[in-house]
């Protein structure tokens, strides 16, 4: 990955991560038609484990597999478990635009946390651009906020836990490979969703198309976990976090391609705002890097 310029490495990984997560979410949404949500999570975890464990051996990480249970890795992935359990329940009981909009608070939580825990300076210009990205994400999601309830609190809980997850990920030792962290997240969520399914749901036999969708979701989930972890490992939070808003752009593409839902003018304007704010932040970072080199 050294051939990728350092100034764009983190943002690029975040774009790939959000795209991978969105493909996973699209397949999950299709698979939950006829199956309970925690059962789908459990089956996806099994599929991702079947994809992921051979991948670790192919990448030569067999000796590092015990690091999946490193204390800091588990801390990060238990927060991932909490986030996904909150998100699934909120998504099942709210309009998707509302739950998506509340999830866009994650980058703001990340920036505040990075400033407090790591002393990272954000700067007024970046904060303004991040705020514009947030407004753009809301323009895309266009939430109604009807029926605000405990499910809205769960959606906010998902945003807070996702930010805590990524902050905890920054404390994982540099010698722990990103793919080890990703597969560890898969295993932790597999165990947690299995317990949640047994405690709250009745088993429903999946059809062949369910299994195909879940297998695809499991594969893209691994890459989502891997690239979001690596994004914050290789790039500063102020440069990476705004690109989390690309999730809403990918969501519009999914709605158009998979569900035949065309974005309205407000959503198109929001996409342009998200893209413009992100590209401006990358330009500012590259300009700062060049000035530093010249000096």
Instruction: Tell which wins on pLDDT, 137 or 97.
Output: 137
Query: What is the predicted pLDDT for the residue at 162?
Result: 92
**Quick check: 109 pLDDT over 90?**
no
pLDDT surpassing 80 at residue 131:
yes
Does the pLDDT value for residue 96 go beyond 70?
no
Cα separation, 263 vs 253, in Å, equals 9
Yes or no: say if 7 and 283 are a contact pair by the CB < 8 Å rule. Answer: no
pLDDT band at 66 (very low <50, low <70, confident <90, very high): very high
Percent of the chain with pLDDT over 90: 44
Q: Please write the tens of the pLDDT for every residue from 7-53.
A: 788 999 999 999 999 899 889 888 888 888 899 999 999 999 999 99
Mean pLDDT of 112-128: 79
3-state secondary structure at position 32? coil
Mean pLDDT calculated for residue range 149-177: 89
Q: Given a cut of 90, is residue 210 above it in pLDDT?
A: yes
Q: How far apart are CA 242 and CA 275, in angstroms?
A: 10
Instruction: Quote the crossing angle between the two packed helices 124-141 and 106-118, to the nearest 10°.
Output: 160
Q: What is the pLDDT of residues 183-204, one digit of tens each?
A: 999 999 999 999 999 999 999 9
Per-residue confidence band for 277, with pLDDT thresholds at 50, 70 and 90: confident
Query: What distance in Å separates the CA atoms of residue 123 and residue 267, rounded to the nearest whole number?
Result: 28
pLDDT of residue 212: 96
Tokens of 124: 């007024």
Least confident piece of the model among 60-74, 228-242, 264-278: 264-278
Q: How far apart are CA 104 and CA 101, in angstroms?
A: 5
pLDDT confidence of residue 192: 95
| Residue predicted with more confidence, 165 or 153 | 165
Tokens of 284: 């500012």
Q: List phi, psi (to 5°) of 153.
A: -65, -35
CB neighbour class for 184 (10 Å; exposed up to 12, middle 13-18, buried from 19): buried
Q: Which residue has the higher pLDDT, 131 or 174?
A: 174
Q: What is the pLDDT of residue 252?
A: 79
Q: What is the pLDDT of residues 76-88, one digit of tens each?
A: 999 999 999 888 7
Query: What's the pLDDT at 200?
Result: 92
Q: Mean pLDDT across the stretch 140-160?
A: 74
Residue whose C-alpha is closest to residue 158's, from 95, 117, 105, 228: 105
Place of tokens 């764009």: 8
């Amino acid at each position: 990955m050294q051939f990728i310029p350092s100034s764009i490495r983190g943002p690029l990984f975040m774009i790939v991560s959000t795209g991978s997560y969105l493909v996973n979410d699209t397949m999950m949404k299709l698979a939950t038609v006829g199956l309970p949500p925690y059962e789908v999570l459990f089956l996806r975890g099994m599929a991702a484990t079947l994809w992921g464990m051979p991948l670790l051996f192919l990448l030569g990480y067999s000796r590092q597999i015990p690091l999946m249970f490193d204390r800091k890795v588990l801390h990060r992935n238990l927060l991932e478990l909490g986030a996904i359990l909150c998100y699934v329940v909120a998504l099942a009981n709210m309009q998707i635009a509302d739950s998506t909009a509340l999830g866009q608070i994650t980058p703001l939580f990340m920036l505040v946390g990075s400033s407090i825990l790591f002393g990272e300076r954000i700067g007024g210009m970046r904060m303004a651009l991040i705020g514009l990205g947030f407004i753009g994400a809301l323009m895309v999601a266009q939430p109604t906020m009807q029926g605000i309830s405990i499910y809205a609190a769960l959606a906010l809980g998902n945003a807070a836990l996702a930010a805590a997850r990524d902050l905890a990920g920054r404390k994982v030792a540099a010698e722990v490979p990103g793919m080890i962290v990703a597969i560890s997240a898969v295993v932790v969520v597999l165990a947690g969703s299995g317990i949640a399914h047994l405690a709250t749901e009745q088993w429903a036999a999946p059809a062949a198309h369910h299994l195909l969708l879940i297998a695809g979701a499991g594969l893209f989930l691994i890459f989502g976990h891997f690239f979001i972890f690596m994004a914050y490992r290789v790039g500063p939070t102020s440069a990476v976090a705004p690109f989390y808003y690309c999730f809403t752009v990918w969501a519009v593409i999914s709605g158009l391609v998979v569900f035949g839902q065309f974005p309205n003018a407000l959503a198109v304007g929001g996409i342009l705002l998200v893209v413009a704010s992100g590209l401006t932040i990358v330009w500012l970072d590259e300009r700062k890097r060049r000035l530093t080199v010249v000096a």
